[in-house]
Amino acid sequence: MWNKREEEVVRSPAAPPAAVPSAATSERREAAGIGASITIVGDVTGDEDLTILGKVEGKIDLPQHSVTIGQGGRVKADIHAKAVSVAGEVHGNLVASEQIVIRKTATMLGNLSAPRVGLEDGCCFRGSVEMETPAPKGRTALAASPAASAPKPEPAARP
Amino acid sequence: MAWFSGSRAPAEAARPSGLHSQALRALLDGLQAESRPVVLDLGPPVAANITFLSALSCRVRIADLHRSLGAESVESRRPEAVGALLERLLPLAPGERFDALFAWDVFDYMRPDQVSALMTRLAPAFGPQTAVLVLASTEREIPATPLRYRILDPENLACDGPREPRRASPRHAQPDLARMMPGFSVQRSVRLRSGIQEYLFVRGAGEEPVRAGVAGALRGLSPRAPWFRRGRL
């Protein structure tokens, strides 16, 4: 009997938001998932983070939330989100207001636009990258950093 | 003894993992003259390069050409089909224009007809001063797959990737490259001790004076080291 009661308490976070105290609601981030066996053709919009392990074709628009394409996830869509992480396969253009990360397991064909873009070595990527970089004085000065010049200059022979 | 036996000495076997590139410096100086330069990188995606070039306000397009070509069928890579293949692998948006092209060592892994087809394919996107950085091996053998060149700073590159197994090098000479790249002239050519000949080709530079951009930056570059002057054409 007491077991049943405890189980109910454990389940409560999954209950409708009205059942959860308001303070907890404001801090907790909702997340939705598209499972590996699910295929969606059409537009995806919403008000929570999204993890995709299945297939999506169309358009994904979650400007206030993050979108994660897990390994095995396959997306043929343009994605507009706050942050995008790709470990699966994406054909489409990604626009993020915060950052985009392309994992080493990813296959990404399309253009990336975000203030921060991370590409893990080994990823398969074809497309363009546009980062909005803060440039207080216009451009970064082209100066050879002493620390980076580890490989010593190679004297050349006449060709 | 190693020098009698002809076997490769340990020091020789350990390839240098970095290059000092004056051509890279010149190319980057030229890019700074552009307002929002667009760079086409034929190599694989390298996070450090994208970060570096983005700091120069560049838009970077990654082609990863070797992997893309390798994933295609042998038939589609034949000379008569390579034009259509490149059209599919490198679609050009209307009005798309490249201010610089990082070829790295990718041309060493392409047939001359493929390089020619590539340059023909990209010709509409080249501006009057587009620059191309080419690293061509002068050795008999090269690694079986292209290396990954990582920009450490404007004058230094790190080379990552396996050196073994190896394959025969095409040893593209400058006239060969010039034939494959019509409209481009060599601005810099330096042979590095590692056996790599670095070239900086600039479009139209040999035909008429160019006041700004990459070619202008090249003229302004003061060769500081004697070895650099020797390598200048």
In chain A, where the domains are located: 39-131
Measured between CA atoms, the residue of chain A closest to residue B64 is A126
3-state secondary structure (DSSP) of residue B85 = helix
Per-residue pLDDT at B43 exceeds 80:
yes
Q: What is the pLDDT of residue A66?
A: 97
Residue of A142, A158, A157 whose CA lies nearest to B26: A142
Mean pLDDT throughout B111-118? 93
Angle between helices B213-220 and B22-32 (to 10 degrees): 130
pLDDT in tens, A4-15: 443 333 333 333
Q: What is the pLDDT of residue B132?
A: 97
Q: Tell me, what's the ipTM?
A: 0.78
pLDDT in tens, B67-96: 988 888 887 788 888 888 999 899 999 999
C-alpha distance from B29 to closest chain A C-alpha (Å)? 8
Residue that is written with structure tokens 């993992």 in the block = B17
pLDDT in tens, A58-92: 999 999 999 999 999 999 999 999 999 999 999 99
Q: Which of A20-24, B45-49, B85-89, B144-148 has the lowest mean pLDDT?
A: A20-24
Name which of A99, A111, A129, A145 to mutate to probe chain B: the one with the most chain B Cβ atoms within 10 A of its Cβ: A129
> What are the chain B neighbours of A120 within 8 Å (beta carbons)?
47
> What are the chain A neighbours of B190 within 8 Å (beta carbons)?
156, 159
Q: What is the pLDDT of residue B37?
A: 94
Q: What is the pLDDT of residue B197?
A: 96
Q: What is the pLDDT of residue B14?
A: 42
Q: What is the mean pLDDT of chain A?
A: 78
The share of chain A scoring above pLDDT 70, in percent, equals 64
Residue that is written with structure tokens 């969606």 in the block = A40
Angle between helices B82-89 and B112-122 (to 10 degrees): 50
pLDDT in tens, B143-190: 999 999 999 999 999 999 999 999 999 999 999 999 999 999 999 999
Give one word for B78, left, alpha or beta, with left for phi > 0 and alpha for psi -120 to 50: beta
Total beta-carbon pairs less than 8 A apart between chain A and chain B = 124
Per-residue pLDDT at A26 exceeds 50:
no
Q: B39 or B36: which carries more pLDDT confidence?
A: B39
What's the CA dihedral at B101, B107, B111, B116 to 10 degrees?
30
- Judge contact between A69 and A50, C-beta under 8 A: no
Given B56, B68, B190, which is nearest A156 (Cβ)? B190
Residue of B75, B106, B145 whose CA lies nearest to B90: B106
Q: Show the domains of chain B with their CATH numbers.
A: 18-231 (3.40.50)
C-alpha distance from B131 to closest chain A C-alpha (Å)? 18
Alpha helices in A12-112 (DSSP H): 22-27
Q: Do A157 and B191 touch (CB under 8 A)?
A: yes
Measured between CA atoms, the residue of chain A closest to residue B137 is A159
Q: What is the pLDDT of residue A29?
A: 61
Q: Which of B112-121, B152-161, B163-172, B220-229 has the lowest mean pLDDT?
A: B220-229
Bridge-partner residues for B90, per DSSP? Answer: none
The share of chain B scoring above pLDDT 70, in percent, equals 81
- Judge contact between A131 and B68, C-beta under 8 A: no
pLDDT in tens, A41-62: 999 999 999 999 999 999 999 9
> What are the chain A neighbours of B223 within 8 Å (beta carbons)?
none
The answer to whether residue B29 neighbours chain A at the CB level (below 8 Å) is: yes
Q: What is the pLDDT of residue A55?
A: 98
Q: What is the pLDDT of residue A143?
A: 62
Centre a 10 Å sphere on the Cβ of residue A158 and count the other Cβ atoms it contains.
Answer: 8
> What are the chain A neighbours of B29 within 8 Å (beta carbons)?
142
Per-residue pLDDT at B221 exceeds 90:
no
Q: Which two tokens stand for residue A107?
A: 């296959």
Q: Do B62 and A118 touch (CB under 8 A)?
A: no
Q: What is the mean pLDDT of chain B?
A: 82
> What are the chain A neighbours of B27 within 8 Å (beta carbons)?
none
Q: Do A144 and B153 touch (CB under 8 A)?
A: yes
Q: What gap in Å lies between CA B176 and CA B199, rounded to an integer? A: 12
Q: Is the pTM of this model over 0.90?
A: no
> What are the chain B neighbours of A135 within 8 Å (beta carbons)?
55, 57
- B39, containing H or E segment: strand B38-41
Q: How confident is the model at residue B233 (pLDDT cuts 50, 70, 90)?
A: very low
Q: How confident is the model at residue B13 (pLDDT cuts 50, 70, 90)?
A: very low
Q: A132 or B202: which carries more pLDDT confidence?
A: B202
